[in-house]
Amino acid sequence: MSTPAQRPDRRVSRTRRLLREALTSLILEKGYDAVTIEDITRRADLGRTTFYLHYRDKEHLFLESIEQSADELARQIVQIPAETLFNENGEGAGLPIALVFEHAAQNADLYRAMLRSEGSIKATSRLRELTIQYALEFTRRWWERRGLTSEPHIPLEVIAQFFAASLLGTLVWWLEAGMPYPPRQMAAFFRRLVLDGLRSVTESH
Amino acid sequence: MSTPAQRPDRRVSRTRRLLREALTSLILEKGYDAVTIEDITRRADLGRTTFYLHYRDKEHLFLESIEQSADELARQIVQIPAETLFNENGEGAGLPIALVFEHAAQNADLYRAMLRSEGSIKATSRLRELTIQYALEFTRRWWERRGLTSEPHIPLEVIAQFFAASLLGTLVWWLEAGMPYPPRQMAAFFRRLVLDGLRSVTESH
DNA sequence: ATAATAATAGACAGACTGTTTATGATTATA
DNA sequence: TATAATCATAAACAGTCTGTCTATTATTAT
């Protein structure tokens, strides 16, 4: 997070990358639980002991992938200028959500591996945490920006949690179904559902 | 599902119940992954080999708990008369959702164990499946009842999936947070969010 | 009362984990 | 390009868990 970045030994970054890639592909093939350390190192073409030089266990390796991917996405979202970030219509409306779906599409394998709940330990859990955290901050800023000082009828925490859960759930379904709609359209669906609710979908004939 | 119900040997139902209870409590204590078969049988005060007389592995035991609980809830919901089931206001409005939150509150331990994503294999996955399936059917009937024949702007599948994900997510958060609001109120929060959307929450001053 | 069924302890091979040790290979840097 | 530091490696290890089998005892339904 804030080390002076003594650039790591080339062997180290290579090894770590190979291990991450091996784990992701193996999860998709046989499911998280079934993957052994030896599977990983065999696919990465590394000695089994090498694994323990870098990670305590499978979980730590996977968590690294998650944090890395979350950082990458967060960096993209942060770049959106504050003026357009909260636009509900017109330019830039829904941009953060669109970025999420596009980032997921570009890293579909990793996302699938991360979100597939069939045996993901605290990996999925961590992803949830990160999303809720982000949603909470976003919701809070949104609220403030509207000059609303009084508490909403529904606690902010509930709102943020609702947002995170529906976003992650929608992502899971979309990825597992083979991304049947393009990212932009999926983002639009989601935005409509989460902002205007189910009722609005049936009301507009 | 349709066996003539040759009532099982008393020893069998006792053993199975003890195993289910032991697993649930152990999951809450050390997390799904960390629970071994021996842990389970020791807590249930049964021989380890006995376990294998009834279940192939931990997963099958847990899946049985899930199916059983889902059946119980479904039986309650099915009892709601069709007239009030789809009421959006007035009598019976939101009853199914309220039932879910109340059932979760009454079986909080089991629900926590089921929903805690930290290592739940395909258990959580199965729960998702069941919920989506139910949400899909419900949404379809709702749609039909409104006499709407044309497809909605958003595919029904997306809607059902959205509903299921937000419901399960909200449940998880609520249970893990120690049920900070009573079931009825939580159900009302959820109903408001899912039916009218986030925007409505900030618009009503 | 008794035949059928269920539970048990004990022993087993096989798989995986995480650590240690001693050795060989690659890298950064001067 | 020499060399000291770092990294990767194989081999061997004890420890844990799994799932199966066998022979024996206990409980149940009728």
Do B118 and B191 fall into the same domain? yes
Tell me: do B73 and B150 sit in the same domain: yes
Q: What is the token pair recorded at A29?
A: 């093939």
Nearest-CA neighbor of A44 among A11, A90, A8, A66?
A: A11
- Return the residue of A nearest to B166 by Cα: A166
Residue B51 sits in the same domain as residue B63: no
Helix axis angle for A156-176 and A95-106, nearest 10°, is 40
Same domain, B93 and B140: yes
**By residue range, what is the domain housing residue A33?**
7-55
What is the distance in angstroms measured between the alpha-carbon CA of A47 and the sugar C1' of C25? Answer: 13
Sign of CA dihedral A141, A145, A147, A153: negative
**pLDDT tens string B10-59:** 999 999 999 999 999 999 999 888 999 999 999 999 999 999 999 999 99
CATH of the domain at A23: 1.10.10.60
A50 plus A97 within the same structural domain: no
Q: Is A124 within a domain? A: yes
Question: Across the interface, which of A143, A159, A190 has its CB nearest the CB of B193?
Answer: A159
| pLDDT tens-digit map of A125-167 | 788 888 888 888 888 887 887 776 667 789 989 999 999 999 9
Q: Which residues on chain B are in Cβ contact (under 8 Å) with A193?
A: 154, 158-159, 162, 197
| Co-location of B111 and B33 in the same domain | no
Are A27 and A102 in the same domain? no
At B111 the pLDDT is 92
**What's the confidence (pLDDT) of residue B148?**
64
B171 and B80 in a common domain: yes
Of the residues B38, B55, B72, the one at which a domain ends: B55
CA atoms of B27 and B23, how far apart (whole Å): 6
Mean pLDDT of chain B: 87
Phi, psi at A46, each rounded to 5°: -135, 160
Question: Which residue reads 């890395």 in tokens?
Answer: A68
C-beta atoms of B166 and A164 within 8 A:
no
Specify whether A69 is located in the same domain as A49. no
Residue among A27, A129, A148, A201 with most chain B CBs within 10 A, to mutate: A201
- A122 CA to D12 C1' in angstroms comes to 33
Task: Please give the Cα distance from B82 to B79 (Å, whole number).
Answer: 9
Domain count, chain B: 2
Q: pLDDT band at residue B120, thresholds of 50, 70 and 90?
A: low
- Can you tell me the mean pLDDT for A89-105? 88
